[in-house]
Amino acid sequence: MATSLAAAIEAAHPNASVDKQPGGKGDFIVKAEGRELWNKRAHPEERFPEDEEILALLAEDA
C-alpha cells in the first residue's frame, strides 16, 4: 500500500520527497508540509486511502 502510494505521489509530483516511516500496528498516516492528510485510525471507516484520494488532497494544497 505505502509503496504504490509513494510511487503515485512521485509520478504526479516529481519534486515531492516521499518518506515512509514504520508506525505502530494499524497506523497509516499521510502528511504533507506538516499537515495530516489521512489517518487510518481517525477515519470513520478505519480504512486505507485510495491513491486518487491522496492525490486529490495534495492537489488542493497546490
Nearby residues of 10 by Cβ (< 8 Å), 6 or more positions away: 16, 18
Nearby residues of 38 by Cβ (< 8 Å), 6 or more positions away: 28, 29, 30, 49, 53, 54, 57
Question: Looking at residue 4, what is its pLDDT?
Answer: 92
Residue for grid cell 516529481: 14
Residue 44: exposure state from Cβ atoms within 10 A (0-12, 13-18, ≥19):
exposed
pLDDT digits (tens, 9 = 90+) for 17-43: 898 888 888 899 999 988 999 999 999
Bridge partner residues of 38 (DSSP) = 30
> Average pLDDT in the 49-59 region?
95
Question: Looking at residue 30, what is its pLDDT?
Answer: 93
